[in-house]
Structure formats: structure tokens, C-alpha cells
């Protein structure tokens, strides 16, 4: 298997020097930059808004993979698109009309994604498989970094891969939550393409970022 895409979550970065941190993970081999947006309502934490995304955009040319853990999401789609998001991922529970939300994202020239919480039925994404470029499987309950991976998500990843294959679509499966070099091979073997990692990338400080990302990428050779 080829090396997975690695999307370091800046939720684990040093917020006092966020622009520099983005440049560091870019240079260390990140494929995407994962931006966790939390509103203190849909999930129990507050993080950043479109102004920070806009400020970070000049620091890298890597795609911004923006995960909206907010409700409602629709009023903020345009702002995050204009701030420089390349992917915008929303939760089915974040608004009454998922189809319309995804249309809004596409109309703004951004790639739409759907995030599935650990207990969200996979059927929630089935009606919109023709509209999306990414499915984000939450392997922890969203809201905080540093949680342990939930192995029950592995068969769900396998089922999603089957659903995508049946549609004949090119949709990335991204997994977020408790991803480490120890479990990355199992996640990739189940059918994931991309790994979101916060603690696993930022642990050890800037001098360790390249080694940490390389360890996650190496898991692709073990996912056979």
C-alpha cells in the first residue's frame, strides 16, 4: 500500500506561534493541514474561527482540511471558504439539510466532506455519496485532543470503503482520533486513505515533527 496522506491537527500545536507551527509541519512532510473548528455548543470546546484560517493561509500551500464541529454550519460556510479552506467537512447533525449544506460548500469552490461521529449511522452519508470528496471517520468523540482510539470504528471504515466502491467514486476516507504509529496500519488496512494526527505529530516538539510524520507514513507498508 502507498503511504497515507497525513493531516496534522493544529489543535495540538503551539497556539502562541501558530503560523510558524504550520510552516514546520509543512516542511516536515504534512500532506494536509487539519483545522478543528469547535463552537462550545456542538462539541464541548472552543477553538478558532475563519479569521485565524485566513491568517494562516499565507504560511503554506498545503490544502487546508477544515473540520466544522459547529451547529448550525451553514452561516459560516462562505467565511471559511473565503478564508482559504480547501476541504470543508460538516456533520449530518449540524443542520437540517445536509444536501443543501454540501451544495453550498461546492458552490463556493471548496471540496465538501461529511464527518461521522462514533455513533452516527453510516446510512447518514449514503444519500450524499455523489456529492462529497471526503468522509471523516471520528474514532473518538469529538471535542478534545489526546483521546484513545476506538477500535469499534475499524469495521465501520471497512463498510464505508465498500459503499464508496459500489458507487465508483473517488472519495477519501480520513480517520481522526487517537491515531498513532501503533494503530495506523490497522486503520489503513480497514480502508482509510488519510490520517489526522495531533498528539502523534506534535509530541516531542519541532525537532520531532518529521520523524513523527514519517512513522505514520511508514504504516502504509504494513497495511497489507
Domain range for 33 is: 5-222
List all residues 6 or more positions away from 121 whose beta carbon is below 8 Å from its beta carbon: none
Other Cβ atoms less than 10 A from the Cβ of 137: the count is: 26
Whether the CB-CB separation of 8 and 202 falls below 8 Å is answered with yes
CA–CA separation, 110 vs 63, rounded Å?
11
Looking at 36, 39, 65, 193, which residue is catalytic? Answer: 36
DSSP output for 47-91: ---HHHHHHHGGG--SPEEEEEE-SS-GGGHHHHHHHT-SEEEE-
CA–CA separation, 175 vs 156, rounded Å?
11
- Decide: residue 43, CB within 10 A, 0-12 exposed, 13-18 middle, 19+ buried: buried
Whether the CB-CB separation of 212 and 200 falls below 8 Å is answered with yes
CATH number, domain of 30, equals: 3.20.20.70
Q: Is 143 annotated as a binding residue?
A: yes
* pTM of the complete model: 0.95
User: Active site includes 65?
Assistant: no
- For the chain, what is the domain count? 1
User: Active site includes 31?
Assistant: no
Looking at 39, 133, 176, 193, which residue is catalytic? Answer: 176
- What pLDDT tens digit does each residue of the chain (224 aa) get? 678 999 999 999 999 999 999 999 999 999 999 999 999 999 988 999 999 999 999 999 999 999 999 999 999 999 999 999 999 999 999 999 999 999 999 999 999 999 999 999 999 999 999 999 999 999 988 766 667 888 999 999 999 999 999 999 999 999 999 999 999 999 999 999 999 999 999 999 999 999 999 999 998 777 66
Pairing between β-strand 33-38 and β-strand 87-90 as defined by DSSP bridges: unpaired
Amino acid at each position: 500500500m502507498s503511504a497515507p496522506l497525513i493531516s496534522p491537527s493544529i489543535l495540538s500545536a503551539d497556539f502562541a506561534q501558530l503560523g510558524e507551527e504550520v510552516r514546520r509541519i509543512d516542511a516536515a512532510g504534512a500532506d494536509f493541514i487539519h483545522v478543528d473548528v469547535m463552537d462550545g455548543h456542538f462539541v464541548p470546546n472552543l477553538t478558532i474561527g475563519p479569521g485565524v484560517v485566513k491568517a494562516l493561509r499565507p504560511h503554506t500551500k498545503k490544502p487546508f482540511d477544515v473540520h466544522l464541529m459547529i451547529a448550525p454550519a451553514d452561516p459560516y460556510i462562505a467565511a471559511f471558504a473565503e478564508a482559504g479552506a480547501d476541504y470543508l467537512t460538516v456533520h449530518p447533525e449540524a443542520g437540517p439539510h445536509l444536501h443543501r449544506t454540501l451544495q453550498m460548500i461546492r458552490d463556493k469552490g471548496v471540496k465538501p466532506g461529511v464527518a461521522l461521529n462514533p455513533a452516527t449511522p453510516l446510512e447518514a452519508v449514503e444519500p450524499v455519496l455523489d456529492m462529497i470528496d471526503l468522509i471523516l471517520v471520528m474514532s473518538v468523540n469529538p471535542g478534545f485532543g489526546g483521546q484513545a482510539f476506538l477500535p469499534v470504528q475499524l469495521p465501520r471504515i471497512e463498510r464505508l470503503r465498500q459503499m464508496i466502491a459500489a458507487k465508483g467514486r473517488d472519495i477519501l476516507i480520513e480517520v481522526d482520533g487517537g491515531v498513532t504509529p501503533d494503530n495506523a496500519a490497522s486503520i489503513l488496512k480497514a480502508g482509510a486513505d488519510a490520517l489526522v494526527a495531533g498528539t502523534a505529530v506534535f509530541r516531542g516538539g519541532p525537532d520531532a515533527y518529521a520523524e513523527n510524520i514519517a512513522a505514520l507514513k511508514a504504516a502504509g507498508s504494513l497495511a497489507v
